[in-house]
Amino acid sequence: MMALNGTPAADTPLLEVRTLSVAYGRKAVALNAVNLTVPKAGVVALLGANGAGKTTLIRTVSGLIRLHNGAITGGEVLLEGKSIAGLSADRIVRLGMGQVPEGRLVFKNLTVEENLQVGGAILPRATLAERLDAVYDLFPRLAERKDQAAGLMSGGEQQMLALGRALAASPRVLLIDELSLGLAPLIVGAIYQQLKKIREHFGTALLIVEQNARLALGICDYAYVLERGEIVLAGPAELVAASERMHESYLGARAERQAAAG
């Protein structure tokens, strides 16, 4: 791994992945000795191309890897210094890990409000009501559509709902997988603006998984680049954005050059 200058905050990090290795089935290694740290209230991006292992990392951190016939073959996952590697997914959620899954996965037959209520069901009733108000403040569009079935909303609205639903549980860290997938650039831009606000309003740490490196680098403090299951580059957002390797493979320099040559 090529480490660029600067590391995230030094005290116990919120989420820490240590030399984590994961395999599907017998030998399909998907992650190899991955190290990754999300500091309190930090915004961290995990970048990489198709099949790099980003979703695998998220699944492992959230306790869902066994469901997909995968297993941890080495290393640790720590939430505030405590190992969460063997815990069930619902336990991990209760410990403060919020999920915005790949493909949004809103509850289509439930109303917008019900989606949020289910998202916040781990909170006591009184706290939940306040929390929902805060979510509605952040996403006024959701408030307008409270009683609509979630399946009838547009893709962008469903993505907002998936975010709001995860936020409803007052998580300490949000895992956001491929938020931009299948959405128009304009909408993606708007939702990324909301992500900034999430940190400001709620102090929630974010682990943002993205193929679209430019987008994620625009809002994160720190970025990791995953290639074929290994971290090949890590550092503060500006340094990663400026790095040669990043330009070559992800920020389109090569593509631009090819277009110019061709």
Partner 1 sequence: MSIFIEQFLQALTSGIQLGCIYGLMCVGLAFIFGIMGVINFAQADFMMVGMYLVLAIVGSLLASSFLGPVAPFLAAFLIAPLMFAIGYLLHRWLIVRTTGLRIANQIEAHQAQLILTLGVALILQNGALILLGSAPASIISPLSYSAWEIPLLFDDFSALFINKARTYDAIICVAVTLALYWLIRSTRVGKSLRASADNPTAAIYMGIDVDRAHRIAFGLGTAIAGVAGGLIVLYYPVQPLVGFDFLIIMYAGVVLGGLGSLIGAFWGGFVIALVQQLATLVLPLQLQNATVFIVFLLVLLLRPQGFFGRHVERA
Q: Footprint of partner 1 on this chain (CB under 8 A)?
A: 62, 64, 67, 69, 88-90, 93-94, 99, 101, 105-110, 114-115, 117-119, 121-122, 149-154, 165-166, 169
Q: Does 50 bind ligand ATP (CB under 6 A)?
A: yes
Whether the Cβ atoms of residue 9 and residue 37 lie closer than 8 Å to each other: no
Q: Which is nearer to ligand ATP, 25 or 262 (CB)?
A: 25
Q: Which does 50 bind (CB under 5 to 8 A by kind): ligand ATP, partner 1, Mg ion, none?
A: ligand ATP
Identity of residue 196: K
Longest dimension (CA), the chain: 62
Rounded Cα gap, residues 142 and 167, in angstroms:
13
| Cα–Cα distance measured from residue 157 to residue 159, given in angstroms and rounded to the nearest whole number | 5
Q: Which of 37, 55, 158, 204 binds Mg ion (CB under 5 A)?
A: 55
Closest separation between CB of residue 102 and Mg ion, Å? 5
> 């998220």: which residue's tokens?
58
How many helices and strands, by DSSP H and E, does the chain display? 11, 11
Nearer to partner 1, 13 or 96 (CB): 96
Q: Please, which residue, 51 or 155, has the CB nearer to ligand ATP? A: 51
Out of Mg ion, ligand ATP, partner 1, none, what residue 114 binds, judged by CB under 5 to 8 A for its kind, is partner 1
- Say how many C-beta atoms besides its own lie within 10 A of residue 176's C-beta: 26
Q: Tell me how far apart the alpha carbons of residues 127 and 36 are, in angstroms, rounded to a whole number.
A: 32
Cα 9 to Cα 13, 16, 37, 192, 202, distances in angstroms: 7, 12, 9, 24, 19
Rounded distance, CA 73 to CA 50, Å?
Answer: 22
- Tokens representing residue 34 in the block: 């991955």
CB of 226 to partner 1, least distance (A): 21
The reply on whether position 23 binds ligand ATP by CB under 6 A is no
196 binds, among Mg ion, partner 1, ligand ATP, none (CB under 5 to 8 A by kind): none
Compute the least distance from the CB of residue 100 to Mg ion, in Å: 12
Residues found near ligand ATP in the complex (CB under 6 A): 24-25, 28, 30, 48, 50-56, 68-69, 178, 211
Residues found near Mg ion in the complex (CB under 5 A): 55
